[in-house]
Chain A
C-alpha cells in the first residue's frame, strides 16, 4: 500500500483525488434536486431580485473562499520540479498530464490514430452536437431525471468513463503501463507474457485476406446494430423518429456506438486477450 499512498499524495495527483470527490458530490447534489423536482414539481413562478447585493455578495464570498483555498494550497504544497529535461533518459512510466490520461489509457485498447486522434475529435464534435441532437424540449432550466432519462444516462456514461480512465491511468498504471493493484509495488522489472491475438485468429481464421474480411464484417455488423435499432424504433415510436429525422439518428447512433465500443474493446482485451478486431494492411482496429 505504501506505493499507492506515495502516488496518491504526489503534489500533481492531489487534484485528481479531489476531482473524484467533487464529481461524486456534485452528482449527488444535482441528482438529489432532480429527484425532488420529479416528485414534487418545480417552481415556475420565479421572481427577480436585485443583483446588488443578492448576487454580488455570493460572488464576493465565492472569490474569498477560492482565494483562501488557493493560498493555503500554495503555501502547504509545492509544485513538483524534477531534474533537467533529458531526451536520452526516458522515465518509466512516462505519463501525459493527468487530464489527458484518459487518452493514454485508451492507447492500451486502440492504436494511437484512434485513441489519440479520432476518438478525441469525436468527443469534442459529439459534445458540440448535443444541443442539436437532443430535441426533447422538456427539462430546461431545472434539475430533472424523469424528463430526460436517456440524455442524462448517455452523457453520464461518457462523463464518468472519462473520470474512471483518468483514475486508472494515474493510480493503477505503473512501469511498462502495466496494471498494478494498490497493494502491489511498482516493479520496473515486471514481465507479463503477451498472449494477445486478433479476433479472427480466435475464430480459427489463419489466412490474411479472410481475416481482413472477417474483421471488417464484425465492425460493420457492430455498427449495423444502429440500423436494426432504427427499424425497431420506427415501428414502436414512429412519431419520435419522424421528429428526429434520419440524419440526426445516424449521427447519434454512430457516436453512441463508437463510445460504447471503448468499454467493449476493454472487455475483449481484458477477458479474451483480443488485440485487434479488424486487421488490414493500412490500419488496425
Chain B
C-alpha cells in the first residue's frame, strides 16, 4: 500500500483478534482509511463488525498486528494520551450505552464537558442538536423513559456533538423509521463533507446500495473493501457531493439536510 500516514485516519496491518483462547474473530485484517472517507461496514451477524469497531475506538487491543489511529501506532502510544485520541472519535453504540441517571441533555453534553467546553457553549450546541434530531421536548428526559429510537438519536447526538475526526456508528438507524434514518444519515454525510471520516456498520443493504459509498465487507473474520476506486477507500473531497447526494427529492432534501454551521 502506498498510503501517506499524514492523511490516513485508520490503518490496520495484519490485525487478528481473539477473545481469550477462542478462535480468531478477525483474521489478518489489513486496510487504511483516508481522512474524509465514508464507508459502510457490512457483513452477516457474528462476522466481527462490532469487534472491528471496538478495535478502532480503542475498547479492545488486537491479539496481533498493528493498528494506527490518526497516524499513531496505538501499541506504542502512552496510555495517558489515549483519552485525547478517543475525544477525536465519536461512537454510536449499537446498544446506545447512554447513562441512565443523566438526562438526554446531560448525556449529549458529556463529551463537551469532558473536553472542558464552557457551560454557555454546551447549552447552545446541545439544545440545537437535540432539537435537530427531534428531541427538543425531551431535553430533561432520562433514557429509560425514551423509546428505542429516541435513545438512538440521543446516542447519535452524543457521538457527533464534538464534531469528531472519526465517526463510528454501529447500526445507527436500526430503531428509527425510514425518514428519521435518512435524516440521521444526512447528518453523517454533512459531517463527512466537513472532513469527518465515517464508518457505519449496518445490515441495511438497501440503504448501503442507495447511498453508494464503498463497503468494508467482513466475512468470517476476513475483510475486503468493495466499491473503492483505489486500494485506499475514499470519497471525493469535502467540497463535492458524496455518492449519497441526490437521495431525496429537492424539497425534501432541504428539509432534512442539517445546517452544520448552525448546529455546531
Q: Do A and B come from one complex?
A: no
